[in-house]
Structure 1
Amino acid sequence: MAAEKPTPPFDTFVFDVDGTLLDTLDDLVVLTNDALAEFNLLPRTREEINSYVGNGVKALMYQAVPEGTPQDVADACLARWKENYGTYPNDLTKPYPGIPALLAELRRRGCKLGVLSNKFDGGVQFIMNKCLPDAVDVQHGEGGPQNFPRKPDPTGLLATIEELGSTPARTVYIGDSPGDIHVARNAGCYAVGVDWGYHDPADFAAEGWEPDLLVSDPEQILALAPEA
């Protein structure tokens, strides 16, 4: 018998980062092409890099290097990307319109707020602290102290929910990719897709992971929270 689908209102909201809370693409283009250039590899277009985003920096760099690139060179590009990230200012990254107001209102309504991303954990801590400082209660990426696997493995999401003192039935997971809907389903959460990120909303149905709710404005998410 299938598990009963969670229903509103919810008091716990966990978000993806890239393409959901933050528009990071312009900085990802610079970082990726800088790493490629250091190994005399041709740059990728913004559109190409956009298509690589969503499964972590390892997947991004392994797709960005030209086909046939030796593994040791691909690994060196990845290492250089991460090394550069530590000193790169990420000044092109900004919250999407309406996101700061959404997080503030959810917090005002007493909701628990978290982040779980496929970005490596150090990158999540850096970019959230820079662009949305103290906006959420818990923030995690791939790896980190708890060695969380990438989504759609639900381990990281379930641990984040537990850390927030909540349960999957009380939780909404919000993201811009089919993988985000997949991890929400795997964890037993309510799944919200956003249409302002890096993935075409048609991808949800095409890949078999349709959200419980698709939103085009962050304010629409407030309908899932307790009344003000």
Structure 2
Amino acid sequence: MQSIPADQVRMVVFDLDGTLIDSRKDLANSINAMLAEFGRQPLPEEIIAEYIGDGAGMLVRRALGDPDDEALVESALASFLHHYRVHKLDFTYVYHGVFEALEALKHGRKLAVLTNKPVRPAQEICAALGLGPYFFRIYGGNSFSTKKPDPEGLNFLIHEAGVLPEETVMVGDSDVDILTARRAGTWAIGCRYGLSSHKVESIPSDCLVDSPLEWISVLDMARQKK
């Protein structure tokens, strides 16, 4: 690992689920509601959590056992999204330290969200939980033709913000986020506390943190100079 040059960072891009928010219970409940609708047995929340990170389609496919029946997957996805639209904020909450960290990091920088969750629920969750005002853009898994770990979305944000890859940091709890950063040529911070934290160390990041508050010590220039 190498030290991230905080004074050169002009944009920080965050994953959403498992990085800014704990949405595990609402996602699991919506998956199990879908499974019940299709006459299947519920899955433990811990198992469903392992399926999160690659978008709603892959979450549903994995929960179904990766069937070959694409029509089934599409119907199940529609069912899951219906349940999740209604129940996405039943138990979801912002991780401790996130607001304090965002306050510290926003000065002189652009902050953004790039998630594989569909963009509308991502934006609605950020708005409802008070996260929205911190971000100049919130993009989801259906905002572009590809999802993370393809770097398309991150590259677009870099261009849109008028920054360079080496002036950008990607923060996430999954190997998907770290791989996205690597492919876009940005810095990467891996979060060991999130929903996919069991996978985050499978690809080397530039820094690993155990809580959102540690983003401050890594990236806040004012505190580093004290």
Scaled by the length of structure 1, what TM-score is found?
Answer: 0.88
2:59 alignment partner AA: L
Measured after TM superposition, the shift of residue 185 of structure 1 is: 0.7
RMSD: 1.9
2:113 alignment partner AA: V
Q: Which residues of 2 match residues 87-126 of structure 1 at below 5 A?
A: 87-107=86-106, 109-126=107-124
Scaled by the length of structure 2, what TM-score is found?
Answer: 0.89
Give SS of 1:139's match: strand
2: CA distance between counterparts of 1:81 and 1:72? Answer: 14
Give SS of 1:119's match: coil
1:195 alignment partner AA: R
Q: Percent identity?
A: 33
- Give the number of aligned pairs: 218
Counterpart position of 2:220: 225
Counterpart position of 2:185: 188
Name which of 134, 154, 157 aligns with 2:151. Answer: 154
2:122 alignment partner AA: V
Whether the 8 Å CA contact 1:142–1:149 is kept in 2: the answer is yes
Whether the 8 Å CA contact 1:6–1:170 is kept in 2: the answer is no
Q: Which residues of 2 match residues 12-161 of structure 1 at below 5 A?
A: 12-66=11-65, 68=67, 70-107=69-106, 109-131=107-129, 132-144=131-143, 147-161=144-158
2:5 alignment partner AA: T
Whether the 8 Å CA contact 1:11–1:225 is kept in 2: the answer is no
5+ residue gaps, structure 1: none
State which drifts further: 45-54 or 120-129.
Answer: 120-129
Give SS of 2:49's match: helix
State which drifts further: 87-96 or 48-57.
Answer: 87-96
5+ residue gaps, structure 2: none
Give SS of 1:118's match: coil
Give SS of 1:87's match: helix
Whether the 8 Å CA contact 1:215–1:221 is kept in 2: the answer is yes
Give SS of 2:54's match: coil
CA spacing shift, 1:200–1:85, aligned 2, 3 Å:
closer
State which drifts further: 181-190 or 155-164.
Answer: 155-164
